[in-house]
Amino acid sequence: MLVLALALVLVAVALEALRRSPAVAEMRRARRLTAKLPHPAEYPLLGTATLLACSQDELYDRIHKVASDYGPLTRVTLGHLTFVCVMDPRDIEAVMTSTKAQNKSLAYTVLMQVMGMGLVTLNGDEWRRHRKAITPSLHLDILKDFVHIFYKKGVGLASELEQRADSAEVFDVTPLCGACANNSICETVMSSDLDDDDPDKRNFLSNIPKALDHFMYRVFRPWFISSWGYSLHPTRYRDYVKILNDTNSFIQRIVREKKETVQKTGEPESRPKRRRAFLEHVLASAEGAALDENELVEEVKTIVAVASGSSMDAIALTIYTLAIRQDIQEKVRDELSGVLGEGPGRAVEHSDLAHMQYTECVIKEVLRYFSIVPLFGRTVTEDLALPSGFTIPRGCEVAFWLPYTHRDPKWYPEPDKFDPDRFLPENSRGRHPFAFVPFSGGPRNCVGQRYAMMFMKTVVAAIVPRLRFEIPAGGPGRIEDVPLALNLTIAVRGGANIRVHRIRQQETLG
């Protein structure tokens, strides 16, 4: 009995010490100051975590229902974390542009192994140093040289799709879009001279979706979030470690090879410069010299991981949208015919992209309607007053759920209607700039957003003149009926299943 009594006393002392600790005091303060915000039912220790107790297919609908039910300012609690969900554009602007909320959410730490310690996951001075080093190598004058690569990969995608047209099969277009995106990223970001049949390159490209699959597996099983916990998995952990090691080894190989090339050979100013990959630009720039080899490896890893899934799903959802809306597909084809001429013979040049105005409106409406990357997060380091009148307490995590913001009827009349004309200049006038933030906003906006738009426009211009897309029998007849699934990005639940037809018999592509 004495031992038991002593044990109870020690537990009581430990609990009291925990209660008095600064971290617990801050958590209690955050919970107290956000208590009046609308929020779902909460349970001791778990908070609102029971909302995530569903299949991955149900997750998008579950989160969107919470956002819709509780409004533009909502509290969600997960364990010791307090999230304030901010969805009004005025409040979003206040958070995204504030120096009090420049750090990424603690939730991003789970991504570091998969995505690397790059611009997406770094904070503070490290982030500023990386941003300064990376940004010049994504200047428009450099990106213009990538259009020919985007077009080549788009033509390759068209060739793959034509094979499906010959067999009239119904298939999920997403994996083919992923291969197109990953090959484009590999060539433009890392190297402009690696052969497609390089075994390390093939292995690297196949590992990208596998790594993201491991990430989502762990997110849905919190006991596997820590590396130690995941190491106890009898089968998956070994595969996970191999994927990470192979990925790191490949990127390290590329960084070292390119570093040696830049250091040894350079490129005389008197000679026309060949097209160089993003990594080569970074290595040759004064700004890039601020990053050591390991930092470059991590940065490339981050860029590849972020761009891979988002580019894949953006292209797949664009094709799927065109398959459902034949009228929009024909308008895009007519515009491209006017820009590029009849038939698909002429390659797309950078100067052509500015004339693809309706095509750009369609892509922007896809990004609005589906919010490809739907969720962003920040950590508030000091109390932050919002235009709506609420003050977010320090220590809170802020979440932005874009499907709510992008379908706010105040900024988008008939928000559930797919209408590319929303993004015509005359219809965009007066819309709050933070009512459309597919690439985030403020100082921590996506450094690759111009790259992404150029890639999507060029690939669409490569495939639409060659092929007609349609939804097979049994598929959704309206875009409003498309079921969505949430991974790191948004995808069509069950796959973006389409059928493809040739426009006309083509000469050899490209």
Bind-site residues for heme: 446
What type of residue is 326? Q
Alpha-carbon distances, residue 245 vs 109, 217, 249, 294, 371 (angstroms) = 19, 19, 6, 14, 32
Interaxial angle between packed helices 326-340 and 293-324, expressed in degrees from 0 to 180 and rounded to the nearest 10: 120
Q: Are 250 and 200 in contact (CB under 8 A)?
A: yes
What type of residue is 500? V
Alpha-carbon distances, residue 185 vs 143, 303, 402, 448 (angstroms) = 12, 9, 25, 11
Q: Is 47 helix (H, G, I), strand (E, B) or coil?
A: strand
Cα–Cα distance measured from residue 74 to residue 59, given in angstroms and rounded to the nearest whole number? 18
Q: Are 383 and 394 in contact (CB under 8 A)?
A: yes
Buried b (16+ CB within 10 A) or exposed e, 86-104: bbbbebbbbbbebebbbbb
Q: How far is CA 212 from the centre of its chain?
A: 12
Cα–Cα distance measured from residue 379 to residue 194, given in angstroms and rounded to the nearest whole number? 40
Neighbours of 352 (CB within 10 A): 18
Q: Are 302 and 256 in contact (CB under 8 A)?
A: no
Q: Which of 112, 145, 139, 97 is nearest to 350 (CA)?
A: 145
Cα–Cα distance measured from residue 422 to residue 144, given in angstroms and rounded to the nearest whole number? 27
Interaxial angle between packed helices 22-33 and 2-20, expressed in degrees from 0 to 180 and rounded to the nearest 10: 60
The annotated binding site is made up of 446
Token reading at 402: 């874009």
Q: Are 145 and 306 in contact (CB under 8 A)?
A: no
